[in-house]
C-alpha cells in the first residue's frame, strides 16, 4: 500500500526531472573525470558528482522504494489487527467504515476520486487526504460496487 501510495502521490514530472538531472550529473562528471585530473581534489569531486548522478537516477526506483518497503513492513506489523477488524461497506450513496471505537460515513459527493491499484484501494477526499483499504479484505461484490461507485 505504501509503495502504491508513493507512486500516486509523487508527480511523474518530479521523477522525470530527477532522472534527467542525474543523467546530466553522470555525463558531466564522467567527461570531467576523463579530461580534467590535475589533482586529487578534482578527481574526488568528479567521482562524487558521478555518484550523486547515480543516486538521483535510481532514487525513485530503488532507494525510495527500499525505505518505503521497510517503513511499510513496520506499519503493517503495528496496524495489522486494526486494519482487519474494520467493517467496510460501499453502497450507491456512501462509503462506510467502522470498528468498535470509530465510525465514518462518507457520502459520494465528498469523495474526490477512487484509485484501484494492484493491492490497495485509495479513496481521496481531496488532493492530499485519503483512506486506504487493502484489497485482500474486500469481497468481489464489494470490489464491483467500488468500480460502479467510481
What whole-number distance in Å separates Cα of residue 131 and Cα of residue 148? Answer: 18
Segment 53-80 shows an average pLDDT of 73
In this model, does residue 86 exceed pLDDT 70?
A: no
Note the pLDDT tens digit of each residue in 30-62.
Answer: 999 998 888 899 999 999 999 999 999 988 877
Q: What is the reported pTM?
A: 0.51
What whole-number distance in Å separates Cα of residue 144 and Cα of residue 147? Answer: 5
Inter-residue contact 49 to 29 (CB < 8 Å): yes
pLDDT at position 80: 53
C-alpha distances (whole Å) from 69 to each of 2, 28, 61, 72, 140 are 7, 32, 12, 5, 27
In sequence order, the β-bridge partners of residue 105 are: 96
pLDDT tier at 26, thresholds 50, 70, 90: very high
Q: How many CA atoms lie within 13 A of 18 on its CB side?
A: 16
More confident: 30 or 80: 30
For the chain, give every domain's residue range: 2-82, 85-149
In sequence order, the β-bridge partners of residue 95 are: 90, 106
pLDDT above 90 covers a percentage of the chain that reads 22
Amino acid at each position: 500500500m505504501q509503495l502504491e501510495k508513493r507512486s500516486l502521490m509523487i508527480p511523474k514530472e518530479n521523477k522525470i526531472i530527477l532522472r534527467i538531472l542525474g543523467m546530466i550529473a553522470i555525463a558531466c562528471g564522467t567527461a570531467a573525470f576523463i579530461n580534467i585530473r590535475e589533482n586529487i581534489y578534482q578527481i574526488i569531486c568528479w567521482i562524487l558528482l558521478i555518484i550523486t548522478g547515480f543516486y538521483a537516477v535510481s532514487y525513485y526506483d530503488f532507494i525510495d522504494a527500499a525505505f518505503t518497503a521497510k517503513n511499510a513492513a513496520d506499519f503493517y506489523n503495528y496496524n495489522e489487527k486494526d486494519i482487519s477488524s474494520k467493517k467496510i461497506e460501499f453502497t450507491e450513496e456512501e462509503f462506510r467504515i467502522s470498528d468498535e471505537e470509530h465510525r465514518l460515513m462518507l457520502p459520494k459527493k465528498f469523495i474526490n476520486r477512487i484509485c484501484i491499484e494492484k493491492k490497495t484501494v485509495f479513496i481521496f477526499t481531496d488532493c492530499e487526504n485519503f483512506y486506504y483499504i487493502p484489497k485482500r479484505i474486500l469481497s468481489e461484490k464489494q470490489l464491483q460496487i467500488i468500480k460502479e461507485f467510481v
